[in-house]
Amino acid sequence: MVRLNEDFLKIKQSYLFVEVAHRVAAYSAAHPQADIIRLGIGDVTLPLGSAVVQALSKAALEMGEQKTFRGYGPEQGYDFLRSAIAAYYQKHGVSLETDEIFVSDGAKSDTGNITDIFSQDNIALISDPTYPVYADTNLMCGRTIRYADANEENGFLPLPDAQTEGDLIYICSPNNPTGAAYTKEQLALWVSWARQHGAVILFDAAYEAFIREDGIPHSIFEIEGAKECAIEFCSLSKTAGFTGTRCGYTIVPKALVVKSSTGEEMSPNRMWNRRQCTKFNGTSYIIQRGAEAAFTEQGMREARANIAYYMENAKTIGDTLAKKQIRFFGGVNSPYIWMKCPGGMDSWAFFDELLNRAQVVGTPGAGFGKNGQNYFRLTSFGTHEATAEAMARFDRLF
Ligand code: PLP
pLDDT tens-digit series, residues 79-113 = 999 999 999 999 999 999 999 999 999 999 999 99
Domains of the chain in start order, with CATH, are 6-47+298-397 (3.90.1150.10), 50-296 (3.40.640.10)
- Provide the pLDDT for residue 177: 97
Count of residues in the chain? 398
- Nearest alpha carbon, ligand 1 atom 2: 206
The proportion of the chain whose per-residue pLDDT surpasses 70, expressed as a percent, equals 99
CB of residue 234 inside a 6 A radius of ligand 1: no
Q: Give 273-298 as a DSSP string.
A: HHHHHHH-----HHHHHHHHHHTSHH
pLDDT tens by residue, 274-315 = 999 999 999 999 999 999 999 999 999 999 999 999 999 999
| pLDDT at position 360 | 97
Of 369, 327, 328, 375, which Cα lies nearest the Cα of 349? 375
Is the beta carbon of 114 within 6 A of some atom in ligand 1?
no
| Residue nearest atom 5 of ligand 1, based on CA coordinates | 176
pLDDT-derived band at 330, boundaries 50, 70, 90: very high
